[in-house]
Structure 1
């Protein structure tokens, strides 16, 4: 008995000693590791890796860049069902414990002692936050000890709600989704608060093993895990019997949902990414920036449709290339067809399809993402074999003349259950639309389809604009004193130009010459020889200086008379920017596409400050402002005529200024803008005259097709280069200016029947029909200094009294003709035409 008592005393002493040593060891470990632990306070300002997201001006998602798909949410946005599901699955006592679960830790120690391996870590949600934000995933006692210490600190510094929020926004949940909001979007295409009880239980089961319990890749194990969580929720009284049974019997509905793009504008998205990458490097993809572009979603969608429709219409006019992939599927078993079509891309509205059978003038198809369908004869009879840009083969008489069973073709839905045979165009196109008031890009399409070809023709393809460039030459002439009634001789001429390789014998497209022609008529009928004579008269140097005001690079403008016919190499964006100066009545604006950049908290990192057209606006500066500021204001005054210098109460105020900084003595009738004012590059009288002439391009010239829009405020110009290699149309009203281009990437003829008015103008018309749908006619007002006078259409002189074929023409007040045209009814009357106007 004494021996037993002695052993007990020794055992007790050893136990006490062991506890003492253990406590000393823990204390030593604490004092050793605690100073090395990271500052928990940094969790309040943690930067979660969040992708770059790009939006239109009206908040439509255009694109997302970044490996980690994450959408952080706050605690009060988390549905209660999810909170309960996660507690049931991961940490039922989360809202009660101090950051560690003593029972769980002892259980982990016992498993280690009995098996020799770490099987579970006994981790709480707080411990997982410590591990995810501060530690590695290494399995070691040191890491676990640090995790426990950090957890205790986190619980002291943060609320339970803050800890829970950090956890649900950080965890990886499969398929590149981080955080529960991203997971809800990926698996169900909804936000977390829109999910059913069964769906939130499925999401709550993912943190344990995102791959093993993934409802898409491993549905059986995911279902087992979900139902276990539902049972736990029921046993913990989080849900009642009815909810449990309903959720338990709900089938798996998860499927992969990629980023929900709301507006297709990949060319602009890439422009944004490329622009910002220069400033942020790789952090661009992880810092959660939100970029708002200047795109209008309605206009961009219309631009997408119009380019696709225009290019498909062109390709159908020129014949069928044949099946995209002959005999693609054999045998024609549904599983073979489905598997094959899954590998084929859809380009825009062009769906891949397999021909199942042909029967006289009808065909049965299997279409990707649709299934079986019938192709009627009306929708395929156009498919004459393509022989070249100027010829087609014989008309098909039956479906078997076009394709065979097993062929892969392309079809397009033109109305409900009505499919049309089509093909991927070999021709390309671009459309760019701006606000002429500040240069904001409202829509931009750089080709038929970004996934088919990523080359952005709107900003990268330098092509000759042809006659689309003539309005700038004519405007330069008007600025030099010409009038719309000035006569120029449309007659053959040979030029001996040292800058050209040989003698140049330019011609009109019609091969005809029309003699003395009024400047207005020459432009709307696009007379080449008149354009050349105008440029020769005003001088190339004068013209290039004038053109540079519109943003055209002098170094890329040819220094010879071919400039008058549009031989410069210009991108569609450069051309439409020049046209903006015509549309806004003579101001220089620069194109831009990023309106603002916000960080993940919504703070504005960048806000565009575009030079804006505002003839009534005034710059105001303090006379005591720095000399550089005053000089800038004076430069604005020289070009806009609107800047004034006036004292303010703020001695260092600089433009642009805020509204509250305006002096109380601000003259009435003047408007003030906080944005930079656009410089005037052309007199308002010149701008109005060229606008009036370009209205006639649509009313009676080469752009007559645009009359279908039934608007009186539109002006524009067609353009076609030699051998019909490029087709253009540029046009505008006060609100929108747009340029459409059609051509081949490797320049070759579009065909002898293709011109700006046939290939490009339909694209522009379809776009403008939508872009201006809710906008009333707004003809540009005639400025002071112009008068409208009746003239003789043949001579440009004043009409004689009673002249029946007289027309009205616009003149600057100082340039009104002084002579009266000859009246043939009066034998002794004479009329003259200024000789200097015929050359």
Structure 2
């Protein structure tokens, strides 16, 4: 009996020992374990996404691509596929599968190496969210304990949801929805059984079973999962046969931007990082910009077409590479190293015929360039000269050349070249400063330097309207006479002489202010600044949004020698377009978190015209945030008398009707106004113009300033880009001529004297005056009217 008792208690002790050891380990490890309740509020790392105002994806930033989804959004076939691949007993165990652990222990004893971990889906959730991937026993014990706790606190659906949103599946894809987007460009619930099984096979080894790098190995893994699904009764025989016979079609779909606006994306990214730091890339912010995708597409096309037209005017610089002895196969291999830039595709010249050129594009696509589409290619000699016209294709290209082409239709292409000149286009909504479109160069891949916001260049005569506005506000009228005559300035300290001149080198003598603006007379601008005083003029010009430090304190500022960005110039012109209010450009309209909840929204000052619309917008945002307080819009500050603005806009419309921008009459609109600008030696060409709905500024030049060519001016290089954009943007939109404010009157003026015209005066016309500045009627002039009646004599500067 004593022996039996000994054997019984010994057996009992042996049986209890593992339990006591495990209990001791659990008691030792448990205090250091994290609280699994935090899984209910877990924030998965999700990238930053930038959208247009009409909800089109512009860009995505972040190391991890992730689109968290709920369990209800996961297709049933995928649930079964993942269970078949990872844990077919998931719905029955309590976090740990003893048989799986025993199987893993047996493999370790037999091989001396860890083959599988015996982990359940719950254990993998514990590891993915709380633990490292180190293969040590302490981590496995913690994993088991955490899995047991997770099962006690969360249901199976919550655990499954945590798992499928966290796992890495290759190609920056984290979670099954991101994997579906990356490999198929679709949502997970749009995929057929075969593709769902493929994704279910990735968690085991994303690099080994990557469908892009290893499609054969991926198919083996996928078919094994389908066989398991059939065995477990998840699918029938017909579904199995159809799925295993489906080829692997996965390819990298990248971030799938829905529109091209890389400069906008970078501006938004920088602003988000400035506000949120590195969290901007991981918190799943969705940023909705003010950019209109339709206008952005038009801006892209206008800039690229304009730069290519400039290139055609100056000749062909030759192929990007010339390889006369290369084979077709070698040429195609070389072609892989070239990227598409600004819509221009790299191509290999395969054969040169008498009337056309045969080309090969990337992916061995074939095409043809007909003679009519390449005969423009006179050799480039300099900005001011070209070689003789080519007579046949062989005069331009040779087999083995790597060139650039633009598509015409089907397999027909046009010879092109990547422009060396650059351009920027900024489009603003004048009522609130919203950036509607922006392009900072020909191609972001070619150069991510944003010329719209970073390039400080002299605006030339496009700056003059700000000075003219100051003059009109200080007593000048559109009919005031100013002498367009030579001036000489001597600097006694520098022993230098400045002799400013007009663009054509001529002088017109006394000229009305209106005509001086649309003819862009430099000497008139200098005399105006002399009369106003440099400091007074610059102080006035600051109200358009310019900083005093950017404005040179000398008379040359009147000719646009300040170094300013296109965005700054567009901001100033917005005040002309909106009737005299100061608005500030802004890009981000609102920011939402990953759940679509509103985090922040912009509150720009707006003009009275937009107040009602802004009120409705703010009310909607306040309501979304759950606040019962209705936010009031801020009215923009009026910085210029509306009567002054009306006079100036009338003068700027004459720039289009009869001045340096007369080409814009081809748009057949009466509500367009603007000003050209060209700097010395034609290094910078500008046009800024507007109607009441849109302001657009265009700059053209070289990054390293050099002449665009002696025939290139604001009206030839920049204006066509502006016209192409505004013509498309305003197509079908009725004219909106501004309403004349109170306090203005019109009077019939003698074009020679700028004073009231006598009956029968040739060329007399109606001019706009402020009531206090209006000239007396001609009948009063005969009685000495300028000295009586209280009317202010128009200033005349000689």
Common fold by TM > 0.5: yes
The aligned residue for residue 563 of structure 2 is 569
Instruction: Please report the RMSD computed on the Cα atoms of aligned residues, expressed in angstroms.
Output: 2.5
Report 1:145-544 matches (<5 A).
145-327=141-323, 330-333=326-329, 336-369=330-363, 371-496=365-490, 502-544=496-538
Report deviation, 1:394: 0.7
Native 8 Å contact 1:299 1:442 kept in 2:
yes
Judged with a 3 Å threshold, the aligned counterparts in structure 2 of structure 1 residues 835 and 306 are, in CA distance, closer, same or farther, namely closer
Structure 1 counterpart of 2:742: 784
> 1:329 touches 1:407 (CA, 8 Å); kept in 2?
no
Whole-angstrom distance in 1 between the partners of 2:338 and 2:268: 28
* Equivalent pair of 1:821/1:831 in contact (CA under 8 Å): no
**Equivalent position SS for 1:731:** strand
> For 1:574 and 1:565, how far apart are their aligned partners in 2?
17
Residues 775 and 794 of structure 2 are in contact (CA less than 8 Å); yes or no, is this contact kept in structure 1?
Answer: no
Deviation at 1:177, TM superposition (A): 1.0
Give the structure 1 partner of residue 617 of structure 2: none
Q: How far, CA to CA, are the matches of 2:333 and 2:742 in structure 1?
A: 70
How many Å separate the matches in 1 of 2:347 and 2:700?
27
Of the structure 1 ranges 751-760 and 65-74, higher mean CA displacement relative to structure 2 is found in: 65-74
Partner residue of 1:769 out of 724, 727, 734: 727
Pairing 1:708–2:704 present:
no
Task: State the SS of the aligned residue for 2:234.
Answer: coil
Change (3 A) 1:707 1:258: same
Query: SS of the counterpart of 2:407?
Result: strand
User: Residue 644 of structure 1 corresponds to which residue in structure 2?
Assistant: none
Matched, 1:66 2:62: yes
Instruction: Evaluate the alpha carbon distance shift between residue 429 and residue 616 of structure 1 in structure 2; reply closer, same or farther with a 3 A threshold.
Output: closer
Q: Which residue of 2 is the match for residue 626 of structure 1?
A: none
Asked whether the equivalents of residues 422 and 701 of structure 2 are also in contact (C-alpha less than 8 Å), the reply is yes
Q: In 1, Cα distance between the equivalents of 2:648 and 2:214?
A: 68
1:423-462 deviation per Cα after TM superposition (whole angstroms, max 9, x unaligned): 1111111111111111111111111111111211111111
Task: Kindly indicate whether residue 578 of structure 2 is the aligned counterpart of residue 584 of structure 1.
Answer: yes
Partner-residue secondary structure (3-state), 2:489 = coil
Question: Is the 1:362–1:375 Cα contact (8 Å) retained in structure 2?
Answer: yes
> Could you tell me which residue of structure 2 aligns to residue 749 of structure 1?
707
2:91 aligned with 1:132, yes or no?
no
Question: Secondary structure at 1:360's aligned position in 2?
Answer: coil
Q: Residues 216 and 255 of structure 1 are in contact (CA less than 8 Å); yes or no, is this contact kept in structure 2?
A: yes
Give the deviation of 1:541 after TM superposition. Answer: 1.6
CA drift of 1:278 comes to 2.8
Matches of 2:704 and 2:656 in 1, distance apart?
Answer: 30
- Give the SS at the match of 1:53: strand
Q: Deviations over 1:475-499 (max 9, x none)?
A: 1100001111111122222233569
Aligned residue among 731, 739, 743 for 2:689: 731
Distance 1:12 1:356, change over 3 A: farther
- Mapped pair 1:813 → 2:771: yes
Distance 2:365 2:779 in 1: 73
Q: Name the CA shift for 1:458/1:423 in 2 (closer, same or farther; >3 Å).
A: same
Cα deviation, residue 118, structure 1: 2.8
Distance across 2 between alignment mates of 1:264 and 1:509: 38
Q: CA deviation at 1:740?
A: 0.2
Structure 1 contact 177–183 (Cα < 8 Å) conserved: yes
The 3-state SS of whatever aligns with 1:62 is strand
Partner Cα distance (2:784, 2:12) in 1: 135
* Distance in 2 (alpha carbons) for counterparts of 1:115 and 1:821: 117
**Any conservation in 1 of the 2:776–2:785 contact (CA below 8 Å)?**
no
Q: Is 1:819–1:831's contact at 8 Å kept on the other side of the alignment?
A: no
1:559 maps to 2:518:
no
Maintained 8 Å contact 2:311/2:419: yes
Residues 1:26 and 2:22 aligned together: yes
Q: How many angstroms does 1:149 deviate by?
A: 1.2
Q: 1:319-351: CA deviations, max 9, x gaps?
A: 111111111871123xx3332222211102110
Number of equivalent positions: 781
2: CA distance, partners of 1:424 / 1:454: 15
The match for 2:622 is: none
Give per-residue Cα distances to partners, 1:281-309, cap 9 Å, x unaligned. Answer: 32222222222221111111111111111
* Structure 2 match to 1:81: 77
Matches of 1:11 and 1:423, distance apart in 2:
94
Maintained 8 Å contact 2:480/2:795 = no
CA distance in 2, matches of 1:424, 1:319: 12
Local SS of the residue matching 2:498: coil
1:830 Cα offset (Å):
13
Q: Is the 8 A contact 1:328 1:408 kept in 2?
A: no
1:410 shift after superposition: 0.4
Instruction: Note closer, same or farther for the CA distance 1:592–1:830 as it changes in structure 2 (3 Å cut).
Output: closer
For the pair 1:609 / 2:594, whether they are aligned, the reply is no
Aligned-partner Cα distance in 2 for 1:692–1:598: 43
Q: Which moved more, 1:527-536 or 1:739-748?
A: 527-536
Structure 2 Cα separation of the partners of residues 470 and 87 of structure 1 = 72
Report Cα offsets for 1:224-276 as digits up to 9, x if no partner: 11111111111222222221111110111011111101122221222222223
Partners of 2:462 and 2:274 in 1: CA distance? 34
How many Å apart are 1:661 and its aligned residue? 6.9
Supply the distance in 2 between the matched residues of 1:616 and 1:176 (Cα, whole angstroms): 43
User: Paired residue for 1:676?
Assistant: 634
Q: Does structure 1 retain, via aligned residues, the 8 Å contact 2:745–2:771?
A: yes
Say which SS state the counterpart of residue 177 (structure 1) adopts.
coil
- 2: CA distance, partners of 1:603 / 1:687: 42
Structure 2: gaps spanning 5 or more residues: 613-625
Cα distance change, pair 661–75 in 1 and its aligned pair in 2 (3 A)? closer
TM-score by length of 1: 0.89
Q: Structure 1 residues 421 and 616, CA, compared in 2 at 3 Å: closer, same or farther?
A: closer
Contact 1:56 1:295 (8 Å CA) reproduced:
yes
Distance 1:263 1:26, change over 3 A: same
Structure 2 equivalent of residue 637 of structure 1 = none
Write the distance in 2 (CA, Å) between the matches of 1:413 and 1:78: 42
Is 1:104–1:122's contact at 8 Å kept on the other side of the alignment?
yes
Aligned equivalents of 1:697, 1:370: Cα separation in 2: 51
- 1:99 aligned onto 2:57: no
C-alpha contact 2:480 2:794 (8 A) present in aligned 1 = no
- Deviation (angstroms), 1:680: 0.8
Q: CA deviation digits over 1:753-808, x for unaligned, max 9? A: 10001100111111112322353211111111111222222222223234463211
Aligned to 1:666: none
Q: Is the 8 A contact 2:576 2:645 kept in 1?
A: yes
Q: Secondary structure at the match of 1:409?
A: strand
